Amino acid sequence: MNNYSYLFLALICNLACMSSATQISEDGNCITISNGGYVLTAQAVAKVDQSYMLVTWDSSESDGFADAAVLCIPLDQADALGRQYGDFTQSKNPGMREALKNAIDIRLITTDASCRKALKKMRDTCAGLDNPVFRVGGRDIRIGQATYRGVPTPFGNPPATVILADTIELEQTRYSSREIALKTDH
């Protein structure tokens, strides 16, 4: 083998060791999540089965343990804003200010590849001005302990809802209030 073959082999071994695949183990409500050098010990607080309108991806997110950081509005609140303000997703609509006040910061940790695929589709959709609607099923968790590469990290629970997502489905590629859609269909 020449020197380049050894270098290539070392690169492949390094990438394999740095695999960011999420590993999850559960014992009752106690959940251990390993992802990208992080090991989180968490408690399941509540089941989640909720639809949200995506406002934006949180591109400033740097916690490293989540598969996605999103700012979103529960669909029932989005529909209420749609009844009151019409198409509040437009930046000049006063309902947008109200929507942003009600927005929830969520960190999503996915349990499988189908969830990551749905997130990628949403990210691609949200690259434009559309606000997709997605449904997430899983558990709201509270982080008890966190380490990064074996060193305790002080961040504890982020100022966000952390959801361990078992399912993520894209319900609409662009938010449309059900009531507005019904009025324009006749």
The answer to whether 52 and 134 have CB atoms below 8 angstroms apart is yes
Burial 42-81 (b: 16+ CB within 10 A, else e): bebeeebebbbbbbebbeebebebbbbbbbbbebebbbbb
138 domain residue, yes or no: yes
**Domain limits for position 120:** 20-184
**pLDDT for 63:** 62
**What's the mean pLDDT in 133-147?**
92
Q: Which residue shows structure tokens 């507005």?
A: 180
What contacts 73, CB < 8 A, 6 or more positions away?
52, 53, 55, 81, 99, 102, 103, 104
Ranges 51-60, 112-121, 127-136, most confident: 112-121
Q: Read off the pLDDT of each residue in 99-118 and give the average, rounded to a whole number.
A: 91
Is 13 part of a structural domain of the chain? no
Indicate whether 143 belongs to any domain: yes
Residue 158: pLDDT above 90?
no
SS3 163: strand
Q: What is the tally of structural domains in the chain?
A: 1
In a domain, 101, yes or no: yes
The dihedral through the CA atoms of 131, 135, 137, 142 has a sign that is positive
Is residue 153, in this structure, part of any structural domain at all? Answer: yes
**Domain for residue 3, yes or no?**
no
User: How far are the Cα atoms of 13, 16, 17, 118, 129 from residue 5, in angstroms, in the given order?
Assistant: 12, 17, 18, 37, 47
What mean pLDDT comes out for the span 145-150? 89
Question: Is residue 38 one of the residues assigned to a domain?
Answer: yes
Q: Is 8 domain-assigned?
A: no
